[in-house]
Amino acid sequence: MPDPSQVIPRTALPHDVLRAALGALEAGRRVVIASVVARHGSAPSTPGQKLCLFDDLTAIGTIGGGAVERAALGMMARALDELASTPRLETFRLGPSLGMCCGGSVEILIEPMMPAVHALVIGAGHVGAFAAPLLASLGFRVTLCDARVAAADPARVPPPLPLAGALPAHDGAPREAGTAPGEQVRLVLADHDDPEVMAGMPRDLGEAAALVMTHDHGLDQAAIEWALARGFGYVGGVGSRAKAARTRARLEAKGVPESDVARVRMPVGVDIGARTPAEISVALAAELVAWRAGRQRARWSPVVTAQAGEEQAG
């Protein structure tokens, strides 16, 4: 990987920088954007200028070039490696510390941005129909699949709630819930391993989640094995503790590596005493949010769905 201080960004206007950043995020890549917020005194930077650093340490745009830009690129590169990194405003004084004599200062907002996490929900039964739109409302990119025609009926899956209230359309009228970009659930009439299910999923499935909740125990087992083999970063299943034990025993009997068997979260979810499909959906969504944030802790025990939860999945 190149030294970030040696990166020479490709020249681009601010709107092109934002377009390139959005394209990278859509492709599942991490980016950091630097924006000039203010300039005081003599300085080469202009408010509104933007610079984007991609996860391969290539860059586009400019925030004034020279020592300020090199220093900012170093901070941006570090932000790429910090999972919990948050936006911060940095002040650069154009004096001896930067080898400059302009005498002014520049305020630059550095914003790390993570792509939306993809979640594949396998099974559009009672829990799946609740869980998929809930996850979409929480910012996940959700694919819901089921090979049963009746189960994959769009009328069974409510629209996701908007992420932050009703979003205005271009004409000023409010959008209805679930119509904002990126909030829709992609519903696919297919088995989990059919090619159309994987369309639009990121190339690196280590950054994606697979949640298994079909109507059939054998299909659940096959879907979990498939998700582990494909390399999904998170693999969870709805079911009782007894079913979880049988699932793990079958994985071990088939020679699945112990490290993969240990990755299966089953019963899935945070322990909130969930019983109904809606409650189980809240529990599993909470655990998935924690996984996305990198804050999941061993002290969080799986949700106790019992046999009722297992039956609700179908």
Asked if residue 267 has a cis previous peptide bond (ω within 30° of 0), the answer is yes
CB atoms within 10 A of CB 289: 17
pLDDT tens track for 227-248:
999 999 999 999 899 999 999 9
DSSP code at position 98: G
Alpha-carbon distance of 121 to 248, in angstroms, equals 20
pLDDT tens track for 1-30:
567 778 889 999 999 999 999 999 888 888
Contact 14, 30 (CB under 8 A): no
Q: Please report where in the chains the tokens 């936006």 appear, as a residue.
A: 87
* Poorest-pLDDT segment among 82-96, 214-228, 299-313: 299-313
Q: What is the pTM of this model?
A: 0.74
Q: Residue 299 — very low, low, confident or very high, per pLDDT cuts 50/70/90?
A: very low
pLDDT of residue 303: 37
Both structure tokens of 286: 């909470």
* Poorest-pLDDT segment among 86-95, 138-147, 162-171: 162-171
pLDDT of residue 169: 41
Contact 43, 11 (CB under 8 A): no
Pairing status of strand 59-61 against strand 209-212: unpaired
